[in-house]
Structure 1
Amino acid sequence: MRTRLLAVCLLPLLLGTATACGGSNDGRGVASVDGSAAASATPSLSRLDLLTRLSQCMREHGVPMADPEVEGDTVRQGRYDKDAVSEGTEIKAEEACKQYRPPQEHGPEMDLKKELARQFARCMREHGVEKFPDPDPDGPTRVSSEVGADPQYPQARQTCDAEADAASRSMRPSPS
């Protein structure tokens, strides 16, 4: 008797729930009580997730980009040998994968990165790579294949990488 009474009481509740949850799902948002749909927020990807997807996409488009480098709280884009890729392939891959580029960073950390990039470009020119470009205002320095073919490039790069690492360590605030 109790089972029958329980079934009779639960049946209207189950039917009401099924009716409320039924209908078409056009995927446009989150259902509300009045039946309208509102846009739902999508969680944003972390910098690491974006750069990992960027690396995967670049590889799929012929650029052998390494996975992102993680050092403490800092996540850097993976690198690749620009000499191993034609400029056309690189440009096409950059265009195809641009949706995975993290938004431009701001603040003291970005100011430090920009200053280090300017110092690196200056160093490269001082060490014989006269056509090494200044960094782009919105992103990485684009080095053409002509600049990469400069006979002074490998030695200058090694010297300037070491100087940039030392400058980066000295410019960072010490942990308190």
Structure 2
Amino acid sequence: MRRTMVAALALVTALGAGCSGTPEATDTADSTRDKAMKFSQCMRDNGVTDFPDPDPSGELTVDGVLNGTSLDPNTATWKKAIEACRDLQPAGFTGHQRNAEEQKAALQFARCMRDNGIRDFPDPAPDSPLIDTNRIPSANTADGMNALNAAGKKCGEYARAAGVSGDGS
């Protein structure tokens, strides 16, 4: 389970990676990470004890937190913590509903993933994660995450069109 979460986060990070060495970008990343760290701590302080810290860039999304974990956003504890920590939520944590153009690209991404060996890759709903390893049984096999990552790299242009930011490298 832990391996699945790490590999899924690596795929999302690879699709959404981008970098800049400018001081302004570093300052923004530092403040983004600080806010995300405070949010993570708040979630833990309010009962979601396994809530992770953000990655080094400060990236923290509900998809990244939930995919491949036992955390359940439908529990009373989660709902209470989300409400208590609402003012600390980092930008983009809860994601957004894809518009029609992004949803079309999300469906192309899913088709591309299936065409590249992930036969059980589901079509995402407009308000669901683009990649949800909990809905991809093959991702939990020995080589499943390697295949998922390889297909994700081939299908990155569709992921970006579906709203995943970065250069895909």
TM-score after normalising by structure 1: 0.41
TM-score after normalising by structure 2: 0.42
Higher strand proportion (structure 1 or 2) = 1
